[in-house]
Amino acid sequence: MKKIYILLASLFIMTACSTDLDQTPPNLASADSLTDFEGVLNAAYYYQLGSVTPLAVMAEFRSDNAFMFEAPYTEFDAFTSNLTTMEDQFFGPLYTAMYKSILSANNVIENSTDATQIGEAKFLRALSYFKLVKSFGDVTVNLSASPSLTDTSILVRQPAADVYNNVIIPDLNDAISALSTTIVDGRASKYAAQSLLGKVYMQMGDFVNAETHLGAVVSGASSAGISLKANYNDIFGAENEIANSEIIYSTQVSSSIVDEYTFGTDFWNWFVGDDPKSDFPVDADLVAAFDASDASGGGTDLRRAVTLSAAGTTAVKFPKDGGLGTEHDWIEIRLADVILLYAEALNENNSPASTVLPLLDPIRTRAGLTSLTGTVTSKADVRQAIANERRLELAFEGHRWFDLVRTNTVDAELGTTVNSNYHIFPIPVSEVLATKGVITQNAGY
């Protein structure tokens, strides 16, 4: 069976005593009595499941790719303090799951003697904090397997820049050193860690370091068996998950594993309109973007048929045909994403268009489109071309909103002025209340 989770992982769900930092798997022996931490590591992987649907919905429905029909879910497009009403279904589960994963990772890091296990745990801790910081900004930092239950000062939110510099980046550098270049489905690897580090630097606006790490992945991909699939359609679908050459890292999903996300509507259900809160979720602006790609690309953008229904009203990238909806892994990092970020970093570092645009050619050729080399020349136009490509290539893969925020193009792309307070999401109100305000709420909420 390809899924990495052991049955023990499903036992690791528990209820917080006061905050999500207090969570300890109740069936887990004390660290000093354990000699094999594989089960604890698998728990850290397992808890990533809880981030999948919240981040998928947050990234797509907050952006111009999708929208909600039914109140209060329409608050995703309203950019007001009322977004806090979505806590129970989205922000709360994401927040809780990431701190569970962090706690399990901390246990492995502190107590395992296996260098590979520690490298994987550091990757997962960095991934968890990256998801938290992108979503919430400043966050509580816990690097202990046994955080104090009485010292509330450890709950104080730390500046996002400090979380990047003091936790995420060091963890990923350690993971890069510890892990193999071999890609194994659902496991961290050196290239997964290096790709994530490049994405982190892009999020920080550090294009020099981003270029270094993303470039190392692009140049080393072939020797590691990483390559673009010849057909865009072959990237997605449960039948294409095993040993997929384009997928660098994914969070594994299986109907045989109890989902950490306990709500009935998972990401594929939201996208295909199975939830009446948004029967036809695709925003007309995304359809127009595909139309524009057809017109300027010298043909029909083949990604449209893989991404959208024929009517252009639902997203079918993760099809449910044959009852396989619950078997789709969530792609966290794939090669096309890395290539496009690398091209963006090169452009921001003033590489000429003649160097940058050929990187897009394999992606565009696969989509049935012509090269942009020679037709786009200025730095600003290359920047826009890459942004357009990322939108269509990665639609409904959980990138769009975070790309808009990262590139400071929220207002331009949404056609409205959005208060920057709403570029991040509300801290779960339950956390603020449970800590008596030690964990503070984001401005505007």
Instruction: Read off φ and ψ for residue 361, nearest 5 degrees.
Output: -55, -50
Would you say residue 252 has pLDDT above 60? Answer: yes
Length of the chain (residues):
445
Number of domains in the chain: 1
Give the pLDDT confidence score for residue 36 in this predicted structure. 83
At 325, the pLDDT band (50, 70, 90 cuts) reads: low
Distances (CA, A) of 334 to 120, 218, 244, 318: 18, 11, 10, 15
CA 297 to chain CA centroid, nearest Å = 28
Give the pLDDT confidence score for residue 173 in this predicted structure. 98
Instruction: Read off φ and ψ for residue 186, nearest 5 degrees.
Output: 80, 5
Question: In this predicted model, what pLDDT tens digit does every residue of 332-366 receive, in sequence order?
Answer: 999 999 999 999 999 999 999 999 999 999 999 99
Question: In this predicted model, what pLDDT tens digit does every residue of 100-120 receive, in sequence order?
Answer: 999 999 999 999 999 999 999
The overall average pLDDT reported for the chain is 91
Question: In this predicted model, what pLDDT tens digit does every residue of 163-184 receive, in sequence order?
Answer: 999 999 999 999 999 999 999 9
Q: How many CA atoms lie within 13 A of 278 on its CB side?
A: 26
Would you say residue 27 has pLDDT above 50? Answer: no
User: Does residue 251 lie in a domain region?
Assistant: yes
Radius of gyration of the chain (CA): 21
Give the pLDDT confidence score for residue 400 in this predicted structure. 98
The domain of 191 spans: 7-150+160-432
Give the pLDDT confidence score for residue 254 in this predicted structure. 82
User: Does residue 2 lie in a domain region?
Assistant: no
Indicate which CATH number applies to the domain containing 428: 1.25.40.390
Give the pLDDT confidence score for residue 33 in this predicted structure. 53
Mean pLDDT value across residues 414-439: 96
At 257, the pLDDT band (50, 70, 90 cuts) reads: confident
Cβ pair 285, 64 in contact under 8 A: yes
Cβ pair 25, 101 in contact under 8 A: no
Give the pLDDT confidence score for residue 323 in this predicted structure. 54
Would you say residue 322 has pLDDT above 90? Answer: no
Phi-psi region of 433 (alpha: psi -120 to 50; beta: other; left: phi over 0): alpha
What is the model's pTM?
0.93
User: Does residue 313 lie in a domain region?
Assistant: yes
**Contacts (Cβ under 8 Å, ≥6 apart) of 379:** 347, 350, 353
User: Does residue 385 lie in a domain region?
Assistant: yes
At 324, the pLDDT band (50, 70, 90 cuts) reads: low
User: Does residue 280 lie in a domain region?
Assistant: yes
Mean pLDDT value across residues 92-105: 97
User: Does residue 67 lie in a domain region?
Assistant: yes
User: Does residue 442 lie in a domain region?
Assistant: no
Cβ pair 84, 429 in contact under 8 A: yes
Would you say residue 427 has pLDDT above 60? Answer: yes
Mean pLDDT value across residues 288-296: 96
Give the pLDDT confidence score for residue 32 in this predicted structure. 52
At 321, the pLDDT band (50, 70, 90 cuts) reads: low
User: Does residue 439 lie in a domain region?
Assistant: no
